[in-house]
């Protein structure tokens, strides 16, 4: 037996939005044998654009039952049947989530009439419910209302069963087919051809725009994980329903995947990625010499035009580091730009600064200590390469860090490398350095360098 379902909601995310109407038609594979329909009080205001689309107003649902009041009836109608809907993931995700909140766990096999229609009635320009009904000559009454859309879906489902000469319904219901998990607007072949390798993957919408960027050690497994989890999580369900195509870039190892993912999220600004979207620049300590010849050190956002001494992921880390060196080398708080004073810095009063700020110490003597501090910066900020696994064969990946600044990554043939660092530099493609990149590098190298087979090669 099949339960053909349609719902209306206050929005698209099952985690945050609520159901306003449910319609269920029980189908025995030949005809409709039972039906159930009700408006649902969502216990919140219905957004104006939803009212305009569905015609369901706040006044209409004011006296309707809450979902909790009808949860048992809905579960009874669904639990022993195959769940059928047009874009089944959307309806199933909402119903499952709402039932679970009320103590009922729905575990039904699903059939999506969008996916089935693409296979059984190929070649249509659109498989939206309205356009599909037009193509098949099915009349919809009360469009965008649950009962009207569910009845139209039931009629389409009957036609699909009659025309299913390729046994697509039976195939979709097999335990290992995974058809029930897949996005309604994507062919299974696209997913089957995904690599079981490390890289970055991109979800595209109907217009080809990137709507999500992710990284994975196993791209194929991770992507199937998105769709498996969609029945339990509103965001994943919304994402699944929006995906029309998937592309990917192989990276060879997880560290490069993490770096590329962070960069791509900032470049593409995908709709479904929430973190790492902002192009925050790193902070740095830089050096300049004033008109009187004194060396100054200051903290600002990273700027390639300045003489950068050391790069930091955040301002506080840079300030603490410079403050430590200021005390260790008896530097002027004013010339380190850590103390805003007009005359003598506070360090001079404490005997730490030897008077450069009030010209009691000449530039040559002060600058000698400042240069010693800068030398300590550079001793602690190495220039090096991180070499790891490549994408195939003898290929290796390489990340270039220059005085603490991330310059990018590339790939090279291990057979070509003879120890000359210029060979590694030549394959580097420049990439932007950001606080997120610095966080990824410091965290990953400290935790995973050995287990992931990364090799640190200092630049001579």
- Condensed to tens digits (0 to 9), the pLDDT of residues 36-80 reads 999 999 999 999 999 999 999 999 999 999 999 999 999 999 999
- Write down the pLDDT at residue 239: 86
In a domain, 276, yes or no: no
| Range name among 142-156, 168-182, 244-258, 319-333 with the lowest pLDDT average | 168-182
Mean pLDDT value across residues 197-205: 96
- Please answer whether residues 12 and 92 qualify as being in contact, where contact means their C-beta atoms are separated by less than 8 angstroms: no
pLDDT over 70 percentage in the chain: 96
Among 5-19, 176-190, 283-297, the minimum mean pLDDT is found in 176-190
**Residue 275 domain-assigned (yes or no):** no
Strands (E) in 64-126, as ranges, are: 82-85, 110-112
- At 16, the pLDDT band (50, 70, 90 cuts) reads confident
**Residue 299 pLDDT grade (very low, low, confident, very high; cuts 50, 70, 90):** very high
Which whole number is the average pLDDT over 269-295?
87
Asked, for residue 192, whether it belongs to a domain, the answer is: yes
| pLDDT confidence of residue 48 | 94
Q: Is the pLDDT of residue 135 over 70?
A: yes
Kindly state the tokens that stand for 33.
Answer: 């044998």
Are 25 and 169 contained in the same domain? yes
Biggest distance spanned by C-alpha atoms of the chain? 100
User: Please, are residues 117 and 93 in contact by the beta-carbon 8 Å criterion?
Assistant: no
Q: How confident is the model at residue 200 (pLDDT cuts 50, 70, 90)?
A: very high
**Shared-domain flag, residues 31 and 150:** yes
Residue 436 lies in a domain: yes
H or E element, residue 426: helix 421-427
Which pTM value belongs to this model? 0.71
114 & 239 share domain: no
> How many helices, marked H, and strands, marked E, lie in the chain?
17, 16
Same domain, 49 and 128: yes
Query: Inter-axis angle of helices 234-242 and 88-101, to 10 degrees?
Result: 170
Helix/strand/coil percent split, the chain, to 5:
40, 20, 35
Q: How confident is the model at residue 15 (pLDDT cuts 50, 70, 90)?
A: confident
CB 410, CB 425: distance < 8 Å: no
Domain boundary pick from 325, 358, 380? 380
- DSSP structure string for 326-358: HHHTT--TTTTTSS--SSS-HHHHHTSS-SGGG
Q: For the chain, give the mean pLDDT.
A: 90
Give the mean model confidence (pLDDT) for residues 391-402.
Answer: 93
Indicate the residue among 223, 243, 268 that finishes a domain: 268
Q: Flag the least confident range among 6-10, 120-124, 401-405.
A: 401-405
Domain boundary among 362, 380, 398: 380
Which pLDDT belongs to residue 421? Answer: 86
Range of 440's domain? 384-458
Instruction: Please state, in angstroms and rounded to a whole number, the distance separating the CA atoms of residues 303 and 305.
Output: 5
Give residue 419's region: left, alpha or beta (phi > 0; psi -120 to 50).
Answer: left
Q: In this predicted structure, what is the pLDDT of residue 321?
A: 93
Give yes or no for residue 243 having a pLDDT over 70: yes
Which of these ranges, 171-180, 226-235, 243-252, 262-271, has the smallest mean pLDDT? 226-235
Q: For residue 140, give the CATH number of its domain.
A: 3.30.420.10
Predicted pLDDT at 188 = 81
Q: What is the CATH number of the domain that holds 217?
A: 3.40.1440.10
């Amino acid at each position: 037996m099949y339960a053909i379902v349609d719902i209306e909601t206050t929005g698209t995310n099952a985690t945050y939005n609520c159901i306003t109407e449910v319609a269920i038609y029980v189908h025995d594979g030949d005809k409709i044998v039972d039906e159930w329909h009700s408006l649902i009080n969502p216990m919140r205001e219905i957004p104006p654009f939803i009212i305009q689309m569905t015609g369901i107003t706040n006044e209409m649902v004011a006296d309707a039952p809450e979902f909790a009041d009808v949860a048992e009836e809905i579960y009874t109608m669904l639990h022993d049947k195959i769940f059928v809907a047009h874009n089944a993931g959307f309806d199933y995700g909402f119903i499952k989530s709402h039932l679970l909140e009320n103590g009922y766990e729905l575990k039904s096999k699903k059939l999506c009439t969008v996916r089935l229609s693409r296979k059984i009635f190929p070649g249509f320009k659109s498989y939206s419910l309205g356009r599909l009904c037009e193509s098949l000559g099915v009349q919809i009454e009360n469009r965008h209302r649950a009962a009207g859309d569910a009845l139209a879906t039931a009629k389409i489902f009957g036609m699909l069963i009659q025309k299913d000469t390729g046994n697509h319904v039976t195939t979709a219901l097999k335990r290992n087919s995974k058809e029930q998990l897949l996005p309604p607007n994507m062919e299974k072949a696209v997913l089957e051809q995904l690599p079981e390798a490390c890289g970055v993957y991109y979800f595209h919408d109907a217009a080809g725009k990137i709507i999500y960027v992710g990284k994975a050690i196993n791209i194929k497994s991770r992507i199937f994980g998105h769709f498996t989890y969609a029945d339990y999580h509103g965001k994943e369900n919304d994402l699944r329903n929006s995906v029309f195509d998937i592309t990917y870039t192989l990276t060879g190892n997880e560290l490069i995947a993490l770096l590329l993912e962070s960069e791509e999220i900032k470049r593409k600004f995908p709709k479904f990625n929430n973190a790492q979207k902002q192009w925050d620049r790193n902070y740095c300590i830089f050096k300049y010499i004033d008109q009187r010849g004194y060396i100054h050190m200051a903290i600002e956002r990273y700027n390639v035009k300045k003489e950068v001494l050391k790069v930091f992921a955040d301002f506080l880390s840079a300030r603490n580091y410079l403050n430590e060196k200021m005390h260790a080398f008896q530097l002027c708080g004013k010339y380190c730009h850590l103390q805003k004073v007009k005359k003598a810095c506070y360090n001079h009063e404490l005997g730490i600064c030897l008077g450069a700020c009030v010209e009691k110490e000449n530039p040559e003597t002060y600058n000698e200590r400042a240069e010693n501090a800068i030398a300590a910066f550079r001793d602690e900020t190495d220039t090096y390469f991180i070499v790891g696994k490549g994408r195939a064969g003898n290929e290796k990946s390489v990340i270039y860090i220059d005085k603490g600044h991330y310059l990018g990554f590339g790939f090279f043939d291990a057979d070509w490398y003879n120890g000359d660092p210029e060979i590694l530099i030549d394959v580097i493609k420049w990439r932007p350095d950001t606080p997120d990149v610095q966080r990824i590098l410091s965290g990953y190298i400290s935790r995973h360098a050995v287990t992931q087979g990364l090799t640190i090669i200092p630049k001579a």
